[in-house]
Amino acid sequence: MIGFILRRVLYMVPTVFLVSIVTFIIIQLPPGDYLDTLAAEMGEAGADNTAVVEQLREQYGLGQPIYLQYWKWMSGILLEGDFGISFEKNLPVTDVIWDRLGWTFAISLLTLGFIWIVALPIGIYSAVRKYSVGDYVATLLGFIGLAVPNFLLALVMMYVAFKYFGQSVGGLVSPEYLDQPWSWAKFANLLQHIWMPVFVVGTSGAAALIRIMRANLLDELYRPYVVTARAKGMSEFQLLMRYPVRVALNPFISTIGWILPTLVSGEIIVAVVMNLPTTGPLLLRALLVQDMYLAGSLILIVSMLTVIGTLLSDVLLAWVDPRIRYQ
């Protein structure tokens, strides 16, 4: 088991390295840099500031060749935990991003839990009562869940919540709680808000997982070992839970690997619509004004945490299923 984990961690190193390179190339792609934007803005104000801009460029090392800039950025991160400076906010990137990243992953993990809680029973029901009314309803809802884009669902839910329930929309807490310290009232208010993004982000994933669970379980349900167990006189529910569901769960766990990236993606786009204090709006803004270290750090950390999440799901899978461990 330990050997397996070590091997997987070793595999992760080149992946993370590649992620960092790709990220850096992406944030370098747009022509010009933040200082050009700045210079253009200052130029509109009518002042001549070539000297100031040049000095800034020198200070941030923006005129250097790309590989040097990359090296500077990476060594800063690895050796000092310094992700560079957010040009627009004029603050170190680390000051800006951590609580936003925390919210992104809190919402993503909550969503994962939500998906599991919803998809597992519905998937089992769909398989056991194949072609029943419930199965058809679940299948139809699943298809609709896959067909409605996240952000569209978010917009519709905000509209409904506002128009028919008079709930304040957007954000994770009501405006009056924004600057207050944490309290029970604020926490309760948070719960009133957070279910909406969780539901919105989770629908498509839940829809996909229901279908996977149904297909997996259907493969197992008619196996001889199930018939044998039934012949022994085992109660149907106990039998279901003890054998076929356990086998069908395996692919279910491995799907966390690909579901996590989609959840993080979904969270980011929904956050822009619902104006949540997570990475989404920050990343979009940073990309638009070419605040490159901020954008780069966000993409890098989000991707890395996703890679780690995938690793965890692999380890979990190996722990559940010995066949994978010894491959």
Q: Which residues of this chain interact with other proteins, rule CB under 8 A?
A: 15, 18-19, 22-23, 26-27, 29-31, 143-144, 146-152, 155-156, 158-159, 162-163, 169-170, 257-258, 261-262, 264-266, 268-269, 272-273, 283-284, 287-288, 295, 298-299, 302-303, 306-307, 310
Q: What is the closest distance, in whole angstroms, from the C-beta atom of residue 145 to other proteins in the complex? A: 10
Q: What is the closest distance, in whole angstroms, from the C-beta atom of residue 310 to other proteins in the complex? A: 6
- Neighbouring CB atoms inside 10 A of 187's CB total 12
Q: Give 52 or 289: the residue with its C-beta nearer to other proteins.
A: 289
Q: Give 49 or 88: the residue with its C-beta nearer to other proteins.
A: 88
CB 107 within 8 A of CB 194: yes
Q: What is the closest distance, in whole angstroms, from the C-beta atom of residue 155 to other proteins in the complex? A: 6
CA angle 115, 116, 119 (to 5 degrees): 75
CB 45 within 8 A of CB 259: no
3-state SS assignment for residue 91: strand
Torsion, Cα of 105, 78, 22, 68 (10° steps): 150
3-state SS assignment for residue 19: helix
Q: What is the closest distance, in whole angstroms, from the C-beta atom of residue 48 to other proteins in the complex? A: 25
Give the tokens for residue 6.
């070590």
Say which residue the tokens 């960092």 belong to.
20
Q: Give 226 or 272: the residue with its C-beta nearer to other proteins.
A: 272
- Neighbouring CB atoms inside 10 A of 282's CB total 24
Q: What is the closest distance, in whole angstroms, from the C-beta atom of residue 318 to other proteins in the complex? A: 17
Q: Give 204 or 229: the residue with its C-beta nearer to other proteins.
A: 204
Rounded Cα distance, 14 and 12, in Å: 6
Q: Give 49 or 167: the residue with its C-beta nearer to other proteins.
A: 167
Q: What is the DSSP string of 290-318?
A: T-HHHHHHHHHHHHHHHHHHHHHHHHHHH
Q: Give 13 or 51: the residue with its C-beta nearer to other proteins.
A: 13
Rounded Cα distance, 325 and 5, in Å: 9
Q: Give 18 or 241: the residue with its C-beta nearer to other proteins.
A: 18
Q: What is the closest distance, in whole angstroms, from the C-beta atom of residue 275 to other proteins in the complex? A: 9
Q: What is the closest distance, in whole angstroms, from the C-beta atom of residue 13 to other proteins in the complex? A: 12
Rounded (10°) angle between helices 93-128 and 133-147: 150
> Which DSSP symbol is given to 77?
I
Q: What is the closest distance, in whole angstroms, from the C-beta atom of residue 51 to other proteins in the complex? A: 28
Q: What is the closest distance, in whole angstroms, from the C-beta atom of residue 224 to other proteins in the complex? A: 20
For residue 270, give the nearest of 152, 191, 147 by alpha carbon. 152
Rounded Cα distance, 199 and 247, in Å: 28
Measured over the CA atoms of residue 66, residue 71, residue 77 and residue 80, the dihedral's sign is negative
- Neighbouring CB atoms inside 10 A of 191's CB total 11
